[in-house]
Amino acid sequence: MSSTDVGALAAAEAVRVEIPPRYCPLPCAEHPDARRLNARAAAWLNGFGLCRDGAQHVRMTGNDCAGFYGRIMPGAPAARLQVAVDWCVLMFAFDDLHCDEGPASTRTGDFAGFAARLLRVLEAPGAVRDGFADPFLAATGDLAARCRAQGTPVQVRRVVEGHSGWFRGVLWEFACRRQGRTPSLDDYARMRQHAAAGAATLSWAEVVDGEEIPERELASPAVQALRQLAFTTAAFDDDLFSYGKEQWLAARSAYSNGCRLNLVDVLIAERSLSPVEAMEQAVALNNRLTARFLRLRDQVRQGASEPLRRHMAHLSALIRGNLEWGLRAGRYTDPDGRHPGAVVTTCSFTDTAPPAGSPGIAPVAWWWEDSD
């Protein structure tokens, strides 16, 4: 068989996913220094002995972390943004190797112990010096020191709290896999933003910006609802553009036990839908979340401080930027770093706004309080 025939066969066997029209009238711009930011992040990670070669190196470079974070903060000074891009490249590697793939995806105790040590390094970089022989802890210690040099004590606390919430979400996912059960839609809607590291991710944006968001504003119910809307919408979009990757990996994994942690699969299980119907309902839900985010953002922006206005701009950019990035990143088209083009995902956009009002999911209904 010729190389041309092999390529044609691979294309024919690719997992193909079509995402229905997505309502997302939000800005999206790439950072002009994204290529240099990616190169520096790769060199930084390799310096700790991580992802130096083979499939892990391919996956690391295919993650395009500057493409992800650069879309959240396209106007940030590159020198300040680098710490967030470095964090992103480390945490994707951490996620792949310690959280949700292969044998690590079933070892709850291993993750819990390691996550506790990693969190302790973030809290006090000098507290776990003997653990710095581990490359992940050593790299985290470097990030923690840079966070303290670049951010304020309040911002450092918010970074630590964001990671604590993320690790709790991942432990919930471990429990689901251990029990071999796909969670209910209510439980998934409640936990997805945490398992997807929403608060942990955006905590670095405040460090990059410099000025603190006043606590009285950040802790207000309206701003908390706005943040949770953005984090959940981005996480559910992740479920859409990672669906093909998850199907590809599940078909080849010895550790797949029937547990599915993806919005599409949750809807299939809960509502007895076909994959096409579930994808349509997932997109309809995200369209409604996006519309609510836009309306609430415009309400909160009135009278907001400048740091909070910047934060809301980052939340807006996260929703559309995450989607644009995910549809292109090698992380989702080459699931294991050895099969480029194994997954093909397409998505279109629509200007037609969805119906207003809560989607009828109890844990998130409060996001619509005091609405029309």
Looking up residue 102, the CATH number of its domain turns out to be: 1.10.600.10
Show the beta-strand stretches assigned E in the chain. Answer: 15-23, 343-350
Confidence at residue 108, expressed as pLDDT on a 0 to 100 scale: 72
Confidence at residue 126, expressed as pLDDT on a 0 to 100 scale: 76
Domain count, the chain: 1
DSSP category for residue 121: H
Task: Please answer whether residues 315 and 218 qualify as being in contact, where contact means their C-beta atoms are separated by less than 8 angstroms.
Answer: no
Confidence at residue 249, expressed as pLDDT on a 0 to 100 scale: 87
Confidence at residue 152, expressed as pLDDT on a 0 to 100 scale: 97
> Which SS3 state, helix, strand or coil, does residue 349 take?
strand
Q: Which domain holds residue 59?
A: 3-368
Q: What is the pLDDT along the chain (372 residues), one digit of tens a residue?
A: 343 443 443 444 789 999 999 999 999 999 999 999 999 999 999 999 998 888 888 988 889 999 999 999 999 999 999 999 999 999 998 887 766 654 455 667 678 888 898 999 999 887 666 656 789 999 999 999 999 999 999 999 999 999 999 999 999 998 998 888 999 999 999 999 999 999 999 999 999 999 999 999 999 999 999 999 999 999 999 999 999 999 998 888 766 667 899 999 999 999 999 999 999 999 999 999 999 999 999 999 999 999 999 999 999 999 999 999 999 999 999 998 899 999 999 999 999 999 989 999 999 999 999 743
User: Measuring CA to CA, which residue among 14, 136, 65, 5 is closest to residue 321?
Assistant: 65
Tell me how long the chain is: 372
Residues 6+ apart with CB under 8 A from 187: 363
